[in-house]
A and B are shown apart, each in its own frame.
Chain A
Amino acid sequence: MQILVIAEHDSAELRPATLSALAFAQSVAQATAGTLQLLVLGHELASVVAKGVKYSPVFVADSPELATPVADRYAQVIATVVKDQSIDLLVAASTSQAKDIVGRAGGLLGGAMASDVTGHSFEEGELQLERPIYAGAAVATVSLLGSPKIVTIRPSSYSPAESKDVTNEVHNLTIESSSLPNQIQLESVESKKSARPDVTEARVVVSGGRAFKNSEDFERIVGGLADALEGATGSSRALVDAGITPNELQVGQTGKIVAPELYVALGISGAVQHLAGMKNSRTIVAINNDLEAPIFGVADYGLVADVYEAVPELVRKLQQQAN
């Protein structure tokens, strides 16, 4: 299969999620004796391209009109490249950006698409994909009919590809700005830069739920434990709805899906929709003052306690040990 992976980046580095997409693509390329290439879209991409060539040949769509990832423009460029290069399989990591952009590209390319794939295999030459459904309560094994096939993968299900000490070719694409759609205007992006790691990339995630009454408490207690463990903070839906935490911290079926080494659920009851976002974490700890909270059903270790008391004590003891 001729495979094209869409790179997600911050203008300097490839995002770790893209490395997971590359790992899936490499596996399929190997199994089908196929080819793999990366497509990088944006503006002023030298740094990203320099990283990309360590994984595969890179197609570069560099234009001021592509400086920000806007769905109509990006999807059109992606669809054009897929057709021009006779791509059989379009791959991306299942991030909010890919859902928006690669979803639209899928619509331009005939819709043979599977999202949020968590596993794959080949049965008699046919690519079979596993994907979670019903908020992760079930898994469907599917195959895609027609070509090209479009697959987004769940980053936490695929370990990042390893770069090689090579420099693959770069192909610079000509972008006809006048042919690009121009209906969606990006007015602003409000994103707070945090010193903490990204919740989808951290080794440790400490999440808070309804037990926390305000942002200060959340920051002090959930943030405090996250910092003691050099981890990221996450949130249940309830706190985002209440305006206590920002949406990008939400872990769950319709938020972020994480699978860190350690997930600590503080004051989170454990609704199915939240579990969908974290139940594949390697070790799960739950602290909740409700003995019967459903979260204990998916935890490895459970402590029935008031998070306002237990967590500061935990942080103190972690810091003592460190000193």
Chain B
Amino acid sequence: MKIIVPTKRVVDPDQKIRASADGSRFEIDHLPFVINPFDAIALEEAVRIREQHSSDVEVVAVGIGVPEYEEQLRSAIAVGADRAVRIACDQELDPWNISCVLKAFVDQESPDLVVMGKQAVDDDSNQVGQFLAAQLGWPQATFASHVELSESNLHIHRETDAGIEVVSMPMPAIITADLRLNEPRYASLPSIMRARKKKIEEVEIETLGVKIEPRVQVLSVRTEQSSRTCTRVDNVDQLLECLRGEAEVL
């Protein structure tokens, strides 16, 4: 069985993001980057599936991006991926084009399962998994909080606005990981050392036969500031006075 884990390289979510003065881009070049936290959860799930199944399971982490991405892909190997692949690309791709590239890669690799994060914490679009499933014509289970495999059937819990939904579907399928699917492990030091020696495969986008056609044009960006000043109250009575009085909310 082969599981592909698409990942995205994002700015560490703890960093403060600043837009350039002209609003054309974000000043992130010197900030630390990590694997998108939701993709780390997806990778952990793939590794757990391999650990729980006696049959041969190969976990392939893939990312689309610049050479610097190799650092994050190496940490994917340290956590347990069997192979890591960088699809070389130096432009920012929108969700549609990311999906087109991943589809071409999936067509080449013929996995049984694609597990990826439900959204990237920079773009917050929550689209790629669904686009990919549509392009492949595969069933999808988005916002997964629990995954069970039996034979070639998947049994998945999804977190929805209404609560937990349980679905089942055959493979091949796409799963997008939600927060509570698992808690990703820390790579052990020996694993990190071993990963340093592993080769990160490199694929040129041209060999995948994908023509990049932008669907989303970013016109400008800006950072949001909080314009509120907090009135500190000393007790409940004062709070009620404020809410009934100037706030006019009670």
Contacts and interface: CB of A to CB of B under 8 A. Distances in A.
Interface stretch (A43-51, A110-118, A167-175): A110-118
Given A138-B224, A254-B179, A106 B130 contact: yes
Interface in A208-257: 229, 237, 240-241, 246-248, 253-254, 256
B163 A248 contact: yes
Interface string B206-250: 000000011111111111101010111111111110110001011
A161 interface: no
A246 B163 contact: yes
Given A145-B214, A187-B166, A241-B180, A301 B161 contact: no
| Majority SS at the chain B contact face | mixed
B165 A189 contact: yes
Nearest to A76: B134
A131 B173 CA distance: 29
Contact of B119 (A71, A97, A254): A254
A109 B148 CA distance: 31
Interface stretch (B72-80, B106-114, B136-144): B136-144
Given A95-B161, A187-B166, A296-B230, A104 B130 contact: yes
A106 B126 CA distance: 12
B134 A96 contact: no
Given A96-B161, A107-B135, A134 B230 contact: no
A192 B235 CA distance: 35
A112 B96 contact: yes
Contacts of A113: 95-96, 125, 127, 215-216
Contacts of A247: 145, 159, 163-164, 180
Interface in B157-178: 159-170, 173, 178
Contacts of B162: 96, 189, 191, 248
A103 B231 CA distance: 42
Interface in A177-205: 181, 183-192, 200
Nearest to B98: A111
B160 A97 contact: yes
A144 B142 contact: no
Contacts of B142: 71, 99-100, 103
A100 B143 contact: yes
Contacts of B164: 189-191, 246-247
A62 interface: no
A126 to B, nearest CB: 9
Nearest to B140: A71
A26 B25 CA distance: 32
Contacts of A97: 160-161
Given A107-B131, A186-B165, A302 B230 contact: yes
A301 B242 contact: yes
B149 to A, nearest CB: 15
A237 B145 CA distance: 14
A104 B155 CA distance: 20
Contacts of B238: 303
Interface stretch (A29-37, A80-88, A309-317): A309-317
B118 interface: yes
Contacts of A296: 230, 232
A237 B134 contact: no
B26 interface: yes
A136 interface: yes
A138 B162 CA distance: 28
Given A71-B142, A145-B214, A138 B223 contact: yes
A301 B243 contact: yes
A318 B13 CA distance: 40
A138 B214 CA distance: 22
6 contacts: A111-B131, A240-B180, A297-B230, A299-B228, A302-B230, A303-B238
Interface of A: 70-72, 75, 95-97, 99-100, 103-108, 110-116, 128, 131-146, 181, 183-192, 200, 229, 237, 240-241, 246-248, 253-254, 256, 261-262, 272-273, 279, 282-286, 296-305, 310, 313-314, 317-318, 321
Interface of B: 11, 13, 16-17, 19, 26, 38, 94-96, 99, 118-119, 121-127, 129-135, 137-143, 145, 155, 159-170, 173, 178-180, 213-224, 226, 228, 230-240, 242-243, 247, 249-250
